[in-house]
Structure 1
Amino acid sequence: MSAPLTFPPLMYGEEAQGGAALEHACLRATMGCDAGLIAYRPDPATLEAALVFAPEVPLAQAMAMLPACGVGFQNALGALAPPEVAVHLDWDGGIRINGASCGRFRAIASELDPAKVPDWLVIGWTLPLYPMSEDMGATPDQTALYAEGCADVEPPALLEAWARHTLNWITRWEQDGPAPLHAEWRGLAHGIGEETTQNGQSGTFLGIDEAFGMLLRDDATTHLIPLTTLLEDSP
């Protein structure tokens, strides 16, 4: 990515040097960088990006940025990929292309208490561009972008489109609340109505609550698994 990337207002980019984009973004966040930083790492085989937020609401609400970034990615790739390519999202941050796993989103924050306002929140994603092995039949549930008919999707264009679409959903969330994002995400969600296991609990994935927590129904009751359980420790 030798040419400068173009991001929308309030967003700016930095190439991660010698490390993962998520780690770079977290480091910059701890140093007090402005919100809107997009760290990216243009590895030839994998595309990585991470966006820094400075939430003004408790972490439980701020975690809506995970599905917002996911929906932004789906909208971006959906606009650039051939129309027959299907892009869906797992509740836990997984990305699916044509039904197979293809990268994922991750979340790290300065604060783990859902009731507190964190100093920063970073949402990052990794997308494999090429298969790890030529024998894709050995791992039919795993895929890569260019193995799914997306050879014409250029990483810089995808990064720029993701930033634009994500900013649109952040703005809508701020102005209209979670309902529009909730409706959009539910239409893209993978596995609703199916049996799944999350955080050691198994049951039927019924959908999500207003705060995007997973509703998981077993034989006895319906469990609520908050999005904050997906947070990882800071690197």
Structure 2
Amino acid sequence: MTTPTFPPLMSGYALSGQEDPFEVARQKAVLGCDAGLVVYNLGHDLMAAALVLTPEVALQQAMAMMPACGVGFQNALGALAPPEVAVHLEWNGAIRINGARCGRLRAAAVEGSQDQIPDWLVVGFELRLWPAGEETGLTPDDTALYAEGCADVKAPELLEAWTRHTLHWISRWEEPGGAKALHSEWRGLVHDMGEEVHQGGKTGQFLGVDEDFGMLLRDGPTTHLLPLTDLLEE
């Protein structure tokens, strides 16, 4: 398999077997690795990667890196896949291809208040390449990349493209007006906005997000704000 090439400011760390890039990236972040480390495992059925970041803003604002990674993935697959392949992002991190769940984004950060600048933030990315079983009709809401007309998309190329596009959106987000641009791009990809959803133990209409991508969920006369930090894994 071709070794991925990463853009400036990023470096790769390859894993194999059942090693989880998200867990390894968290361990390396705790030990003080450099920002921009991409830990990855390109398996036969699943590709997974995790990006280590060292934010310069409070955790609540830094969580925008999770949507940035999602938009980066859509841009990356959009450049490599046939034009009819559609990518959508769920607020909770799920990735949908042609309407069905195909992967997810996840995040973890050093313990602390969401109003504090975290020492590190890790955003993980997983994508199923092949279906778990042959009877795909039994799970119509789940799919895999190569079952959706993307057989020519190679995992190393997709990983390279994901890091390039993600770096672009992180850099753009840091510029004046960049947060607005990221919001606009993400809103065009988000799944179920305006629909009834169940999230964080609450059910209601998904109205949109606040400036920090917190979910606005209307339950009758009450509108709840679910911060994106609720998705952080312990």
Aligned ranges 1:1-150 → 2 under 5 Å = 1=1, 3-18=2-17, 19-150=19-150
Aligned partner of 1:106: which letter?
R
Q: Runs of 4+ in structure 1 displaced over 2 angstroms?
A: none
Alpha-carbon separation, structure 2, partners of 1:218 and 1:231: 24
Aligned partner of 2:73: which letter?
F
8 Å CA contact 2:12–2:40 kept in 1: the answer is: yes
Aligned ranges 1:150-169 → 2 under 5 Å = 150-169=150-169
Alpha-carbon separation, structure 2, partners of 1:112 and 1:93: 22
8 Å CA contact 1:89–1:96 kept in 2: the answer is: yes
| Residues matched between the structures, number | 232
Alpha-carbon separation, structure 2, partners of 1:129 and 1:143: 9
The unaligned stretches of length 5 or more in structure 2 are none
Structure 1 position 111, deviation (Å): 2.4
Alpha-carbon separation, structure 1, partners of 2:224 and 2:112: 21
Alpha-carbon separation, structure 1, partners of 2:226 and 2:60: 12
- Name the SS for the 2:197 alignment partner: strand
Aligned partner of 1:107: which letter?
A
Aligned ranges 1:204-219 → 2 under 5 Å = 204-219=205-220
TM value normalised by structure 2: 0.97
- Name the SS for the 1:50 alignment partner: strand
Q: Deviations over 1:64-107 (max 9, x none)?
A: 00000000001000111100000010000000000000110000
Structure 1 position 31, deviation (Å): 1.1
Q: 1:17 to 1:134 in 2, by over 3 A?
A: closer
Q: Percent identity?
A: 63
Larger mean CA deviation between 166-175 and 112-121 belongs to 112-121
TM value normalised by structure 1: 0.97
Alpha-carbon separation, structure 2, partners of 1:138 and 1:91: 25
Larger mean CA deviation between 154-163 and 108-117 belongs to 108-117
Alpha-carbon separation, structure 2, partners of 1:31 and 1:114: 21
Structure 1 position 17, deviation (Å): 4.3
8 Å CA contact 1:178–1:211 kept in 2: the answer is: no
- Name the SS for the 1:178 alignment partner: helix
Aligned partner of 1:217: which letter?
R
Aligned partner of 1:185: which letter?
W
8 Å CA contact 2:215–2:226 kept in 1: the answer is: yes
Q: Deviations over 1:147-204 (max 9, x none)?
A: 0000000000000000000000000100134100000000000000110010001100
